[in-house]
Chains A and B, each alone.
Chain A
């Protein structure tokens, strides 16, 4: 397991150029400076999302170099291979959320309206969003290869549109819903992510086993 995760980190290091990280850091700083406290909140939410595409990049590379054939011949099970991929993704999401939280916290020193409490909430929201996107991306990549990411994006947008449509049709008061959601976000998010995580993992194992058997 450790070796599989280590391999993913090596591939990530090689596949994603350092200039990309510099570029992302510069954008984050620019957003914080220009939009001030709102910018810091944006960074806390969206910075982790920028890097959740990394597992997809690695999975595409694995297919190109036919790593999976080798991986199955190694003393691991298909479940372990999938588990290592999820753990790698979790590590990426956690690290990025911590970085975005730190950026937000530092910003509280400059913008008085930005509180530590807000940084915690927005960083958690960013972490939850990145998990949501990643948990959708991983199984779709196992099923559809390189096209999985696009599918996830389209699926996510369609799901949001569908929710908006239903809410509008049902004449739901969006402001009170948003407030209710914010107040219960941590519990709702955690429950949804745990259910999604379990389904996502099961699907990934199923697709991977089906493709490699």
Chain B
């Protein structure tokens, strides 16, 4: 058994007007990895390539140590996928959907599925089209968790959900990774969710990988310096990742906030959260 449940190497997808550019990252076993980036950054393209929904222009994807194309069926039997919207035939009921899935997944667990439907309080004989968005997402989780999946892939699954249901989902994810062989790849732009549950964060911007670090490393090291123009002008610009001028002050994102605290004692240095980091990379200036 490999240590990494997912390995992406030099993943490239060229659409002409958008290029996912040589993306490389790994998801170890037993962790939740957040995949962040603004709309159109390439998160869904990355997931689609991983799932072989679209053909990669170049690169390699290994899941459970196996090639994602040649071993597609084996791999997908062990992946649970939750998309941003319902893709199941909405004229089916959960019971009928379960019967269909039993004929598709080789490890389908009927009793497990029934338990999840009960746990999520989903009506067994109501058509999916009459479900609320939250119920549809929970149904997708019930399917994803009922075939002994080892890797869950969530593509913007929590967007548009109320905080209560989002919290329920985060609990499900935490439960899932209690088994150290299980992992989650969680694409979202609700970064507060990631701050609660993610172990690693991979940030994509304009089709390029900005970083893929452990969340603690990011929270412990990244910082935002808030200072006036006098201090800002004297700052070593090589330490600044990006900055934003706001009225009479500057805000600058730095990779090592402890060093910045020592170097600029008169400036205010705050820990950066994932939202700050995304905003600086996307909207900040670099020169």
Contacts and interface: CB of A to CB of B under 8 A. Distances in A.
Interface in A198-213: 212-213
B72 interface: yes
Contacts of A73: 51, 53, 76, 79, 81, 83
B contact face: mostly helix, strand, loop, or mixed:
loop
B199 to A, nearest CB: 24
Contacts of A65: 86-90
A70 B83 contact: yes
Interface stretch (A4-12, A31-39, A130-138, A162-170): A4-12
Contacts of B74: 75
A67 B102 contact: no
Interface string A1-42: 111111100110011000000000000000000000000000
Q: How many of chain A's residues touch chain B, expressed as a range? A: 20 to 34
Interface stretch (B3-11, B29-37, B91-99, B255-263): B91-99
Contacts of B101: 3
A74 B53 contact: no
A69 B53 contact: yes
A66 interface: yes
B268 interface: no
A102 to B, nearest CB: 29
Interface of A: 1-7, 10-11, 14-15, 61-62, 65-67, 69-70, 72-77, 212-213
Contacts of B81: 70, 73
B249 interface: no
Given A10-B100, A67-B87, A70-B87, 15 more contacts: A3-B100, A4-B104, A10-B96, A11-B89, A14-B92, A61-B89, A65-B89, A65-B90, A67-B88, A70-B88, A72-B53, A73-B51, A73-B53, A73-B79, A76-B104
B57 to A, nearest CB: 11
Nearest to B48: A69
A14 B91 contact: yes
B87 to A, nearest CB: 4
Nearest to B54: A213
Contacts of B106: 75
B278 to A, nearest CB: 27
B52 interface: yes
B104 A75 contact: yes
A2 B148 CA distance: 20
A178 B107 CA distance: 55
B265 interface: no
Nearest to B88: A70
Nearest to B75: A75
A3 B110 CA distance: 14
A69 B47 CA distance: 12
B73 interface: yes
Interface in B49-95: 51-55, 72-77, 79, 81, 83, 85-92
B105 interface: yes
Contacts of B53: 69, 72-73, 212-213
Interface of B: 51-55, 72-77, 79, 81, 83, 85-92, 96, 99-106
B92 A10 contact: yes
B104 A74 contact: yes
In the A-B complex, list the 8 residue pairs whose CB atoms are closest, starting with the nearest: A3-B103, A2-B103, A70-B87, A3-B104, A75-B76, A14-B91, A75-B77, A3-B100
Contacts of A7: 89, 92, 100
A6 B103 contact: yes
A73 to B, nearest CB: 5
A77 B73 CA distance: 7
A212 B48 CA distance: 11
A183 to B, nearest CB: 44
B85 A66 contact: yes
Contacts of A11: 89, 91-92
Nearest to B76: A75
Nearest to B107: A75
Contact of A1 (B85, B92, B99, B103): B103
12 contacts: A1-B103, A4-B103, A5-B103, A7-B100, A10-B96, A65-B89, A66-B85, A67-B88, A73-B53, A75-B72, A212-B53, A213-B53
Nearest to A74: B104
